Amino acid sequence: MKKKLKILMVEDSKDDALLIIRNISKESFEPEYERVETPETMEAALNSKKWDIILSDYNMPNFSGLDALKIFKKMDFKIPFIIISGTIGEELAIDTIRLGASDYIMKDNLARLVPSIKRGLQETRIKKERENAIKALTKSEDRLKSFMNSATELFSIWNSEINLVELNKAAIELFSPGAVKKDLIGKKMTDLIPSVKESGNLDKYLEVIKTGKPYYHEQITPPQLGSRNLAVKAFKVGKGLGMLTTDITARKLAEDKLRKSYTKLQKTLNGTINALASIVETNDPYTSGHQKRVAFLAIAISEELGLDENIIESVGTAAIIHDIGKINVPASILSKPGKLSDIEFSMIKTHSRTGYDIAKNIEFVLPIDKILLQHHERLDGSGYPDGIKGKDILLEAKILTVADVVEAMSTHRPYRPSLGIDKALEEISKGKGKIYDSKVVDACEVLFMKKDFNWDKM
């Protein structure tokens, strides 16, 4: 496949330009070019587009190759500039090279042109890579020096033999409080950090020097150094090792305090959730335990699907209070033994929206309110309260839907006896992919048919 080549052609002859382009096209390039023949059009072209190479005639009525070269140098472009001329002496040719041209080609020897273009492009690429590498190295060295001078973190550099080469003031206070820097330089790491070998970190540091792959670990200093929590990042520096050590004692204490606070808050939230669940079951004794059984099954389905821990938690939390909205439905309707009228069923259907209204006022981290709102929606839009479809329904709500249907059908209700687990599984299988999510149904069937799921294990 030919490589595209954007050429700015400084040439007064259209015929010569076409001859040059045809010559280039025969080889491994697909040229795209623009021809200019005055200083103004050349500058405009250089400012308006990105070019790969400039090919310039030497002798033109209103412009010269040297003038074009001066514009090229003034605008500081890092691309090849090749002179192509029918009449140019050796001395002038050498002058063009000295002034910055990549090469010069005689028009009666265009066979040299494509090799010269390839060489020029390669040299430009190598030069650019070298410049970028020098810039990166200079920037890296400047950053390192600046960091060493200002860092409050502990910073040290070791040679390939793990002898100390450099360290900052903070590191001195860790390795040997009160010591003078010059007395520490050259010492072995095992002398300054006696535990480094038995902890296995010395071997890890040697591996960093060998492979260049950084190594991170945390450790606690000995009691004589204050039992501080330290985070250590070891990385390759030249042929040796750099170590950035941060005192994270305050962070660890804050994390421990936050963990205890979160545990206390979680207990309070769980108490609130269980209290809400109990309110519903007090109002509807016939469904006592229903929410807990649904939660047990919904969590098992989520685990079978291999979902994230946070999603499993949200499914369990939503399931344990999914019927909270029924506190607004009269107990006489909830426990009615016969068939419900249309009005009564309409009242039952309000519980999803009511549950959402209650849950949205509790600061759950997870979208519990939306799961409650959607747990009676169906894939085909036949559910309630909003009749949403497919991807608009949360996965958590789809899981809760299946768990709710299976539990409800397999247990006793005031208006009918238990239909049994076989009927429940038949129902979700029949609606698989139509009203119930296929993957959720598959996971539920695996639990009952292959993994001996049983609510007695609650």
**Which residues of the chain are in CATH 3.30.450.20 domains?**
151-247
CATH architecture of 3-130: 3-Layer(aba) Sandwich (3.40)
Domain ranges in the chain with CATH number 1.10.3210.10 = 254-457
DSSP 155-176: EEEE-TT-BEEEE-HHHHHHHS
Q: What is the pLDDT of residue 372?
A: 94
For residue 392, name the pLDDT band (cuts at 50, 70, 90).
very high
- Of 380, 410, 377, 424, nearest to 396 by C-alpha is 377
Find the distance separating the first CA and the last CA of the chain, reported in whole Å.
Answer: 66
| CATH class of the 254-457 domain in this structure | mainly alpha
Q: Does residue 39 have a cis bond before it (omega within 30 degrees)?
A: no
Return the minimum-mean-pLDDT range out of 69-73, 126-130, 382-386: 126-130
Whether this prediction's pTM lies above 0.85 is answered by no
Cβ count near 249 (within 10 Å): 15
For residue 157, what are the CA distances in angstroms to 187, 241, 377? Answer: 12, 6, 62
User: Greater confidence, 433 or 260?
Assistant: 433
Task: Show Cβ contacts of residue 284 under 8 Å, excluding neighbours closer than 6 positions.
Answer: 323, 326, 331, 334, 335
pLDDT at 371: 94
- Share of residues in the chain with pLDDT > 90 (%): 33
Please say if the pLDDT value at position 33 is more than 90: yes
Q: What is the pLDDT of residues 111-157, one digit of tens each?
A: 888 898 888 888 888 888 878 777 776 676 666 656 665 666 788 88
CATH class of 151-247: alpha beta
Residue among 200, 199, 197, 173 nearest 184 (CA): 173
